[in-house]
Structure 1
C-alpha cells in the first residue's frame, strides 16, 4: 500500500536512515498461525512496517491481512536498517530491512516478538544469534534452578542467605552471556547484523574502550561507513571525552539547508559553540566571537561552528540575523531538536553556552573557553604562538 509517514521528529535532517533508499527492492511476506489480538477480541486486520527515528515511530508502509498472511514490497534503504512490524497489541516483529525476500515464518499474533525472520543475509545471521542467545538463556535458568534445588531448606527460606548463593551463579551466567555473544559474533564480523548485535546486546556488557579495541577494529572494513558503526564510534568517543581525545562527530543543517558535519572541517582549528537563541549568557559571548572572526580574517585555518539547540527554526534564524552573527568562517547549523540534540549528549552539555576547541585532527584542545580567555587563545593559535597539531 501507499507509504505512510505517521510521525517524523521536527527537524531539518530529512535523510533519516530508515527513509534513505538505494533503489534495490525488498519483499516481506508473513503468515500468522493465529491472527487475533491477545488482549482484544478481534482479528489483526492491518500490519505496519515501521522504524524508529528520533525516538518516534515512522510508518513506512501498511499491508492488509488476508487469510492470515501479509506482504510488503518497496525500495530498500541505502544501508541495512532496523525495522519492525506493528499492528499487534503485545509487541512487534523485529527485522532488518535490506534487499531481497524477507520471510516472517508462521507465528502466533499473540506473541509477535517470538516470530522468526529469515531469507536475507542479515536476517539469517540475526535469527541465528537469537537462537544461540535463547539457548543460553535457558541454560542460565537451569543453572539457577539447580542451585536453588541444591540449597538446604533453611537457606531457601532466607532471602539474604539465598542471595549470596544466587550471586555466584548470576556472575557465571553473565560471563557465559558474554562468551556466547562474542563467539557468535566472531564468526559473523562481515555481516551488517554484527553492528546491531553490538549496539543492542553487547555494548552494555563491556567498557567502551574494550568495545573499541576489540570489536570495532575487528568488524569488516566495509561496515565502517554504516550509520550504526558511526553511532557506536561516536558513543565510544563521548564516553572518554577529555583534552587530547578525538571528538565525536555531529551533523546538522545550515539555515540555507545544507547538510554539514563537524568532521567536514578537519584540517582547521574549530571552535564548536553550542548555544541557543533564548540564552542570555550566549548573547554576552557574541562580541568576543565577532572579535575572534575579525582576528582570523586573513587566515582560513580557524572556523567557528555554532550549533544551536533551538527547537524552532524562526527563533534560530532570526537570532543570527538580528545579532549579525555572520562571517565567511562562521558556520551555523542545527537539528532543531532542543535538548534532545545529539550534541547535548555526545558533548555532555549541562548548560549553554558550551564551547569545545578542536585542533586540525579533530582532537579536543580545551573546553568552555569564554570571553577574553577564548579570544586570547584563538589569537595565539592564529599567530602561531601556540600550536596543537
Structure 2
C-alpha cells in the first residue's frame, strides 16, 4: 500500500513539473507595492475577462500561468493597483510602429513565456483628454522583453488586418506561421477574398495554430463563406420590386458599383460613371450595375429619380443584408467598385472616390 501511495505521489510530482508554464516577470523601479492585475478582452465584444493577479513587492513581481489553461497566445492587458490609495495604473508599451510619424504604443502584449516588464514608469498625458479619477495612464522608459508572438504584432508595419493583396497575406503568414496575432486578424479580411483564397492563407499556419480553438472557429467561418459568394446566379431587388441578376455573362466585364443615397462621395462619382457608361455602349465589353446598401428603400428610390442613372440598379434588401460584406468581399466602405470578368473573377477593386478614378477601371477593361 505504501509503495502504491509513493508511486501516485511520484506521478503527481512529475505531472506538475511537466505541465508547461508561462512566466511573466517584472522589475519596476518607481512603483509602490501593490497588485499587478492581468486580464484579457473578448475579441468579439471587447468585454474584460479577468485572468489573475500577483503581488508587486519592492518593484518586483512574477506571474505564472498554465499553458493548459491558456493554450493560445491571447492578448494580455496589465494594470497596477495601489491598495493604500486605490490608484490604478494602466500600462502602455513601446512598439516599433508609428502613426503619422509618431511612435505608436500598445495597451497589450501576447501571452507567452519569458516576457519581462522592466524599467521606470512615467505617467502619460494627452492634450484634450483626462482619465477618470484614480486612474493613471503609464508607460515604461524601455521596451518589453518579449517573445516571437508579441514581436510579430509590435513589428507589423504592413498593417496585416488591412491587407488586400493575397500574396502579401500568404507571405506574412509563411514568415511567421506560429503567429496568433495573424490568426486573430485574419477574420477582418474575410469579406475581401473567396473561401478558396482564404483557405490557402489559413493552411500556411502551423498545425498547432490551425487546430487551436480559434483556428477551428475561423476555419468554420471560411467554410461557411463558400455559400455566400458573388456569382452569376446572385440576384437582388430591382426598383420595381422584382429580382435582377447582379452579373451578366453576355458581357466581358461587369462593373459592380456599391453605393448609398446618403453617401456624398458616391453621389459625386455618378457623373464620371455616366461618362464611362456612354463611352462603353458599343459592343458588349462592359456592363455597369449599381448596388445600393441603403436600408431606406424610399431614400434609394428618390436618389434614383434625381440621378437618372441609365444602367442597372439593384438594392441589397431582406436576408441579403446579413451577408452583404461577404457577398461583395468588402469591409463596408463606399463607394467601392468591383470589376468582374466573364468567369466571375475579381479583376480590379477600387475603394473610395477621386476625380478621374475610373481610369483604373478603363485601363483594366482595355487590357482585357
TM-score category, normalised to shorter length:
0.3 to 0.5
Larger proportion of helix = 1
Q: TM-score, normalised by structure 2?
A: 0.38
Higher relative CO (Cα under 8 Å, sequence separation at least 6) belongs to 1
Q: TM-score, normalised by structure 1?
A: 0.36
Larger proportion of strand = 2
Q: For the pair shown, which has the larger CA radius of gyration, 1 or 2?
A: 2
